[in-house]
């Protein structure tokens, strides 16, 4: 009976981790170039039960659920026209390379601005790199040609915070850069809210299981023990 408490609790913990990711996605539903996270859940290894007297197998007992892995869906988001000269969107696969305090990072967020030195930078102040790996200069007219910005093919892309990624660069991408446009967030708020509600229901089901087991254990201790 007590094992049921652990099984239900493991499912609740898995759903709690999933809700954290879903909440993060919803918070970035309007962030340019944002990519949603996905989790897969699997069960712990099953325990084979046997009859203690005969040694005959009775069956398998599941030991609960756990988060198997977390992956980021890198599917390109929809593009929208902004008309801003320092907004850029990648048409195709690839990432913008930016030079930050922790080294080169990659992003699909092309909402850039000009620094005091006249360089093209992200909203966090990271320098945007051109095709030759050098910072991109903004022209005297306040514009930058799309072909001056480098687009890099990236293997094993991994989220690094602040809408940035790390990974293994494998050369320039064949994608084109569209000026005056931004890639929207890949999060669908309606679908994501439905996922959140489904996760909440699963979490509440685990709570009910624990409440039921607790009540049964209480009766066993107070009523059966009194006989």
Q: Considering Cα of 21, then 167, then 86, then 175, what sign does the dihedral take? A: negative
* Predicted confidence (pLDDT) per residue in 74-86, tens digit: 988 999 999 999 9
CB 59 within 8 A of CB 215: no
The three-state secondary structure class of 112 is coil
For the chain, residues with pLDDT lower than 50 are: 1
Q: At what angle do helices 189-219 and 2-27 cross, to 10 degrees?
A: 160
CA–CA separation, 186 and 93 (whole Å) = 14
The three-state secondary structure class of 216 is helix
CB 8 within 8 A of CB 209: yes
pLDDT of residue 9: 83
Q: Which residues pair with 74 in a beta bridge?
A: none
Question: Over 132-198, what HEC string results?
Answer: CCCECECCCCCCCCHHHECEEEEEEEEEEECCEEEEEEEEECCCEEEECEEECCCCCHHHHHHHHHH
Query: To which H or E segment does residue 6 belong?
Result: helix 2-27
Instruction: For the chain, report the end-to-end CA distance as a whole number of angstroms.
Output: 20
CB atoms under 10 Å from CB of 71, counted, come to 13
pLDDT of residue 54: 73
pLDDT of residue 6: 79
pLDDT of residue 58: 67
pLDDT of residue 97: 96
* Predicted confidence (pLDDT) per residue in 118-169, tens digit: 999 999 999 999 988 899 999 999 999 999 999 999 999 999 988 999 999 9
Q: Would the pTM count as exceeding 0.85?
A: no
Q: What angle is formed at CA 148 by the lines to CA 146 and CA 149, rounded to 5 degrees? A: 75
pLDDT of residue 214: 83
pLDDT of residue 146: 92
The three-state secondary structure class of 11 is helix
């Amino acid at each position: 009976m007590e094992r049921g408490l652990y099984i239900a609790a493991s499912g609740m913990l898995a759903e709690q981790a999933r809700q954290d990711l879903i909440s993060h996605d919803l918070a970035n539903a309007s962030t340019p170039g944002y990519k949603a996270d996905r989790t897969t859940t699997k069960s712990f290894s099953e325990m084979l039960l046997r009859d203690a007297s005969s040694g005959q197998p009775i069956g398998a007992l599941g030991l609960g659920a756990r988060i198997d892995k977390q992956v980021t869906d890198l599917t390109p988001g929809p593009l929208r026209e902004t008309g801003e000269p320092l907004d850029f969107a990648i048409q195709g696969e690839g990432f913008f390379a930016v030079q930050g305090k922790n080294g080169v990072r990659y992003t699909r967020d092309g909402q850039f601005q000009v620094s005091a030195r006249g360089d093209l930078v992200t909203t966090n102040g990271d320098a945007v790199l051109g095709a030759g790996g050098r910072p991109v200069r903004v022209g005297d007219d306040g514009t930058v040609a799309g072909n001056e910005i480098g687009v890099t093919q990236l293997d094993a892309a991994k989220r690094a915070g602040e809408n940035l990624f790390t990974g293994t660069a494998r050369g320039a991408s064949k994608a084109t850069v569209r000026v005056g446009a931004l890639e929207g967030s890949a999060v669908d708020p309606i679908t994501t809210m439905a996922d959140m509600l489904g996760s909440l229901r699963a979490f509440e089901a685990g709570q009910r299981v624990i409440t039921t087991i607790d009540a049964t254990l209480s009766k066993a201790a107070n009523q059966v023990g009194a006989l």
